[in-house]
Amino acid sequence: MFFNPAHSFAMKAAIITLIIFSAIGFYTFRGYLKSLKISVKKLILIYGISFTVLFSGFALIWQRQVENYANVSTMTNIFISLSVVVFLAFFFSTIFFFTDDLIRFLRWIIISIKKKRFANYTLRSKASGIVGLSFNTILLTLFMYGTLIGFTNYKAHKIQLNHENVPAAFNGFKIVQISDMHLGTFGSIKQVEKGLKLVEEQQADLIVITGDMVNNISTEATPYVDALKKLTAPHGKFAILGNHDYAHYAGDFTKLEMQTDTDNLREIIKQMGFQILENEHEIIRLINDSIIIAGVENWGIAPFPQYGDLDKALNGVHKNSFVVLLSHDPSHWEEQIINFPVNIELTLSGHTHGMQFGIETNNFKWSPVQYRYEKWTGMYQNGNKYLYVNRGFGGIGFPGRVGIRPEITVIELLKSN
């Protein structure tokens, strides 16, 4: 069934949102009509197409939520991206026209006061319409690029971690990190295989996945079992669960159904050849040396679940051991990990995706997500403890990436003097 009563709250929210944007659409319609002198017929046609795309995009997003991302196609993702562009176009056009209206209104008040009579109200500026259309054209170009190319434009970020605690035998040991695959968002297995090929090319000693294998439910991962099973690493493949892996976002699931679905995802991950670390650790041995690879369940600042247990995960670990910890949410690092009694030299996280949108160059990084997470991408240091935040392999919501490329992290451990 397309509309499920269990999703009534979400349906009401969607209807209210569409009503609001219908009002915004009428406002911007008048704005373009007055500023650019476009004929009413042409503008009605343009807005008719825009609203069709917007409403259809909402319907597809709704359907994906109800069906838990089943049978997602590339064309569906493209259509949803177009609806996001239309949504943003209305939003920013409203800002441009409102700013122009505010300036004209203030100018009218000032002139009226000076002349001590009501002045003539100035016409809407043509510039506001041109700026609005130009900005929306740029948005369309960026978001279509982000969907068609950016979403699978994988990049291997190669990091050398020099640390005095790295055991001699592990000098040059290579850990490859994948995070936030969100397999339910991809339109084809080939899109995922493209990224996994880059993983294989790194010739990792150890491969880890730091959570969010799926969006809503476990079956999203089923088509990708064989592809992930092919990944090889001589010292093992390990994974942890992220906030999306507990079926918390599966709509009308009961607690029992959520638990059953999470257990099913655990089995799927095991079929992929990964060992799941849930508040536990393993010892990785090489010649006469060893390191600890530990993993915790999701731990995040509310409203995200706090299932992670460092005491349990590192129980019995010697204080002088070199520890690599997998923890999905980077906020865990500052909240608990830094001050934990056992020295955790390296923490690997994900979760933020770099918001799948931003600007990143060699010398400059910016994304809206930095206003929510201080540690949002790359390497961070506190004394002799390090945190690396992966930009994510896949994505959720918007099926694309603009400015923040999907990432494969390659960390080489180096023994420093």
Tell me: do 162 and 142 sit in the same domain. no
Residues 174 and 31 in one domain: no
Nearest CA-CA partner of 350 in 196, 178, 156, 191: 178
- Which are the contacts of 48, defined by CB distance < 8 A and separation ≥ 6? none
pLDDT higher than threshold 60 for residue 2: no
3 state SS of 267 = helix
Lowest mean pLDDT among 6-10, 76-80, 408-412: 6-10
Residues 75 and 165 in one domain: no
Q: Which of 83, 118, 148 is the last residue of a domain?
A: 148
CB 179 within 8 A of CB 392: yes
Report d(CA 27, CA 39) in Å as an integer.
16
Claim to verify: residue 354 and residue 291 sit in the same structural domain: yes
Q: Does residue 176 sit in helix, strand or coil?
A: strand
Range of the domain at 121: 5-148
Each residue's pLDDT tens digit, 371-382: 999 999 999 999
**Same domain, residue pair 129 and 198:** no
Taking only the tens place, the pLDDT of each residue in 239-281 is 999 999 999 988 778 999 999 999 999 999 999 999 999 999 9
pLDDT of residue 332: 98
Q: Which of 148, 174, 200 is the last residue of a domain?
A: 148
Q: Do 92 and 228 belong to one domain?
A: no
Structure token pair of residue 206: 């150890």
Closest CA to 183 of 228, 213, 219: 213
The 10s digit of each residue's pLDDT in 102-138 is 888 888 888 888 877 776 766 777 777 788 778 888 8
Helix axes of 126-148 and 8-36: crossing angle, nearest 10 degrees? 130
- Does 344 share its domain with 398? yes
Neighbour-count burial of 5, counting CB atoms closer than 10 A to its CB (0-12 exposed, 13-18 middle, 19+ buried): exposed
The DSSP element (H or E) to which 291 belongs, if any, is strand 289-295
pLDDT single digits (tens) 87-102: 777 788 888 888 888 8
Q: Using 50, 70 and 90 to split pLDDT, how confident is the model at 39?
A: confident
Pairing of strands 289-295, 365-366: unpaired
Write down the pTM of the prediction.
0.85
Residue 334 has pLDDT above 80, yes or no: yes
Are 104 and 180 in a shared domain? no
Chain centroid offset of residue 217 CA: 17
Residue 389 has a pLDDT of: 98
Q: Are 260 and 209 in contact (CB under 8 A)?
A: no
Cross-sheet strand order for the sheet of 275-276? 155-163, 407-415, 173-178, 206-210, 237-240, 275-276
DSSP secondary structure, 354-385, as one string: GGGB-EE-SS-EE-GGGGT-SS-SEEEEETTE
Do 175 and 322 have their domain in common?
yes
Instruction: Judge whether 386 and 134 are in contact, CB under 8 Å.
Output: no
291 with 338, same domain: the answer is: yes
Residues 289 and 324 in one domain: yes
Total of domains in the chain: 2
Please tell me whether residues 244 and 356 are part of one structural domain: yes
**What pLDDT does 7 receive?**
46
The last residue of one of the domains, among 148, 177, 210, is 148
Closest CA to 333 of 283, 411, 392, 388: 388
Which CATH number is 161's domain given?
A: 3.60.21.10
